[in-house]
Structure formats: C-alpha cells, structure tokens
Amino acid sequence: MAQNNSGRKKPNILVTGTPGTGKTTTSSFLAEATQLRHINVGDLVRDKKLHDGWDEQLDCHVINEDLVCDELEEMMEEGGNIVDYHGCDFFPERWFDHVVVLQTENSVLYDRLSKRGYTGAKLTNNIECEIFQVLLEEAKDSYPDDIVVALRSDTIDDINRNVATLTDWVRNWCPKPE
C-alpha cells in the first residue's frame, strides 16, 4: 500500500459514524487513555470558519473540505491524532492507520438525537443514514478493508469496551520500517 503511515511515530485514528453514535464521547475517553490528540472536526470547522456558510435545509455548516484538509495536514503527518467526524471520504487515505465506524441500534439512536433536539427531516435523515450503514460503506470505499472496523455503541459498557480495545490497539501499534 502506497505511503501507508509514512514516517509517523504515533498512529492516526479516524472515529466516524452517524451523528449521535458516540464519536466525541469515545474519542475523548480514548484521548485521555492514550495521550493522543482528539480533533473534533465539527468544532474545528466552526472555530476556524472552515466552511462556506450555513445550510438552512440541512441545518449545519457547509464544510469546506479543502480548508479542513489543509488545516490538518501538518498534525496528521506528525501522527498521534484521533479525528472525530461524521464523514470520511474527503480525508487523504494515507492519513489513517485505523478507521473506526461506530454503530448504534436505531431506536437507541432515535432517542439520543431527539434528546439533542433533532426533529423532522434532520432526525429521519440521520436515522436512515444509520439504517443504510452509510458511514460504514463510505469508510470501506475510502480506506483499505483491513484497517476499517465497525464497533457497536449502544451502551456505556460498549463505550468502555471500545475504548479498552482501541487503547490496546494503540499500545501495540508500531511504525512500519521506512
């Protein structure tokens, strides 16, 4: 595989999945356990204005993918990042050593997103996104099969187990010889 983890001393992990599946919760626990850097791409887009305005229909920022990738490039080359975002097809393939897709049972996700204040099309779009495994397909289309894993995220126990599994993965990762 070309340019895989070229020269990184620490791995980069992508944590993706439908909104509400637990990416930010999982990533922040994992960052605490591993001392890797948690990058919440949604927050970064908002704080650094890496967007082309607001999409009234989808009720979210129109992310500028080029600006986001430019912003992240240096940190990703350095390694040691946990990237948290509900999309993954626009990041360079060479950035990631491990791609985690979180998945949540539909009724559980429905309750979480309702609690977050999602209603109408925004709520149903996200539930459909989960039912049709859109993020898992996107991850499989964008990264080598052997680095993509789907992890269940229905309960707190799931989070604890996922963080433990991923912490082990980080500890066992070693840079490939150049």
Note the residues at the interface with ligand ADP (CB under 6 A).
17, 19-25, 112, 153-156, 158-159
Q: Applying CB under 5 A, does 24 fall inside the site for Mn ion?
A: yes
The interface partner of residue 159, options being Mn ion, ligand ADP, none and the CB cut-off 5 to 8 Å by kind, is ligand ADP
Q: Which residue is nearest to ligand ADP (CB)?
A: 22
**CB of 24 or CB of 133, closer to Mn ion:** 24
Contact between residue 45 and residue 63 where contact means Cβ atoms under 8 Å apart: yes
CA distance 66 to 111: 34
Structure tokens at 131: 């039912």
Query: Toward ligand ADP, which CB reaches closer, 73 or 137?
Result: 137
Q: According to the binding rule CB under 5 A, does residue 25 interact with Mn ion?
A: no
Task: Name every residue whose Cβ is closer than 8 Å to that of residue 105 and which is 6 or more positions away in sequence.
Answer: 154
Q: Which residues are 150's β-sheet partners? A: 101
Angle of CA points 41, 45, 50, to nearest 5°? 130
Minimum separation from the CB atom of position 64 to ligand ADP (A): 21
Least Cβ distance, residue 37 to ligand ADP (angstroms)? 16
Q: Which listed option, ligand ADP, Mn ion, none, makes contact with residue 153 (CB within 5 to 8 Å by class)?
A: ligand ADP
Q: CA–CA separation, 40 vs 113, rounded Å? A: 18
Task: Tell me the two tokens of residue 4.
Answer: 């895989």
Q: How far is the CB of 4 from ligand ADP (least distance, A)?
A: 27
Cβ proximity to ligand ADP, 22 vs 80, nearer residue: 22
d(CA 8, CA 95): 10
Binding site residues, Mn ion, CB under 5 A: 23-24
